[in-house]
Amino acid sequence: MNSRIVAKIIGVLLILEALMMVPSLIISIIYKEQDGVVFAMIIPLIALVGFLLSKIQCETKLIKVREGFAIVAFGWVVFSLFGSLPFYLSGSIPSFVDAFFETVSGFTTTGASILTEIESLPKGVLFWRSFTHWNGGMGILVFTVALLPKFGVGGFQIFKAESPGPVVDKIAPRINDYAKILYKTYIFITLLQISLLWFAGMNLYDAAVHTFGTVGTGGFSTKNLSVGAYDSPLIQMIIAVFMVVAGVNFSLYYALYKGKWSMVVKDRELRLYLGIVAVATFLITLNISPLYGNMLESGKYAFFQVGSIISTTGYATTDFNLWPTFSKAMLMVLMFVGGCAGSTSGSVKTIRILVLFKLIGREIARIFHPRAVIPVKLGKTSLQSNTVNSIVSFFVLYLLLFVTGTLVISLEGLDLESSASAVAATLGNIGPGFGIVGPTGNYSGFSDFSKLFLSFLMLLGRLELFTIIALIEPKRWIEEF
């Protein structure tokens, strides 16, 4: 492995992280809070470390698959370690393990939190907490890919290892142009939601923070009661709609911009995603209507929570832990669905679910026609066997990790509902689960070991499992020596 190029790119990432902390410093200065001193010390430190690493001389700047995986995996860990410093040094989170958990949760857009009191924290720290969602949402490294040509480095292998979903749909001939298009779309949607929330009555600070959590599908809020603290149906509906929007493949928004409406309308993954949202909302509305007295009120809560869970955002307007078992089971199923490939959401992804259903259909057809060659198709396109195999492998590995993780967390002595949903919520980058990790609970009661283990699951889920698994496989390390 070319460790020099790995260290060099991580150095570039750290410089980027230092720049990302500048808005939090500005917020601290505006609100005249003491955490500004902490940011003023941390930013130059991170920038210096990044600058020194970025100046490492490399014999070759070629990034192969292994280097791409290493940059992505180690980059996220290093980013999270340095990103923990504002929480830890400001005293907002006294335990470094807790600070690391909160930061990993932020960058991976999980939204799982150990904080029991949020509203008393300094504004700069809270801004950084949610800004990690926005930066991690589209992928820190996807943005870096757009900058790499300036360093004489190609970034396709990084993009492949970083980009969410089973297929990378290129909408531009060059990968750095593709990254720029994605971020322009990302920024436009962000500014649009901030404007709408501000118009709906939120102050600009809260509008920005909740938009970071929505567009990045993370779910950190400035309020202890999450979005439920805002007794405004308009604010709640804006956030609900944008959560669903954030779960859509961002390539489709660019297609809309280019006037390719038929491409969007015919997209089967999008149809399935929106269909699941509609059906789940309808069924949960019927099930919870006795709790809220009328269908309109029930539908409002149902749509918000369905959008929140399937997009893996994790915001809440009510304690869905108190809902009937059927509705909770529906939400649990949605935890294993997720949004579309190419979105900021986590979990399995709708396109994989679609392919799995088509694969089941093919196997049923083979019972009646055992000699028939029946391809798995998405529209008119036949999927290659290696793509189908990778999707099946991903799903099996995902379930194995869920089962194994549940067994590990159950050693805490928690009930099965809390243990299983905590693993599903962290592996799927969702945030809240059920039981003690429900919308009114958090992860503060877990041991340091469990917090680190759940942090590992968050990274696994955000990086699509195989990026991390490929690096920790013993055989790969033996080959290096």
Is 110 annotated in a binding site? The answer is yes
- Please give the DSSP secondary-structure letter assigned to residue 382: E
The whole-angstrom separation of Cα 475 and Cα 155 is 26
Tokens standing for 23?
């808005």
The whole-angstrom separation of Cα 429 and Cα 410 is 19
Is 435 annotated in a binding site? The answer is no
Q: How far apart are the first and last CA of the chain?
A: 10
| Residue 381: strand pairing partners | 378
Taking CB atoms within 8 Å and a gap of at least 24, the contacts of 83-86 are 83/17, 83/107, 83/128, 83/132, 85/38, 85/42, 85/46, 86/21, 86/24, 86/35, 86/38, 86/39, 86/42, 86/124, 86/125, 86/128
Residues 239, 23, 236: CA angle, nearest 5 degrees: 10
430, 110 Cβ separation under 8 angstroms = yes
33, 123 Cβ separation under 8 angstroms = yes
The whole-angstrom separation of Cα 45 and Cα 259 is 46
332, 434 Cβ separation under 8 angstroms = yes
From the list 401, 399, 437, the residue with the least C-alpha distance to 416 is: 437
Is 406 annotated in a binding site? The answer is no
DSSP codes joined into one string, 392-419: HHHHHHHHHHHHHHHHHHHTT---HHHH
Is 211 annotated in a binding site? The answer is no
Tokens standing for 71?
């940059």
The whole-angstrom separation of Cα 105 and Cα 103 is 5
Other Cβ atoms closer than 10 A to 114: 18
Tokens standing for 365?
């057809």
Strand 377-378 and strand 381-382: the pairing is antiparallel
Is 312 annotated in a binding site? The answer is yes
461, 467 Cβ separation under 8 angstroms = no
Is 217 annotated in a binding site? The answer is no
Phi, psi of 230 (to 5 degrees): -95, 110
Residues 170, 342, 74: CA angle, nearest 5 degrees: 95
**Which residue numbers belong to the known binding site?**
109-110, 218, 312-313, 429
**Which residue numbers belong to the known binding site for K(+)?**
109-110, 218, 312-313, 429
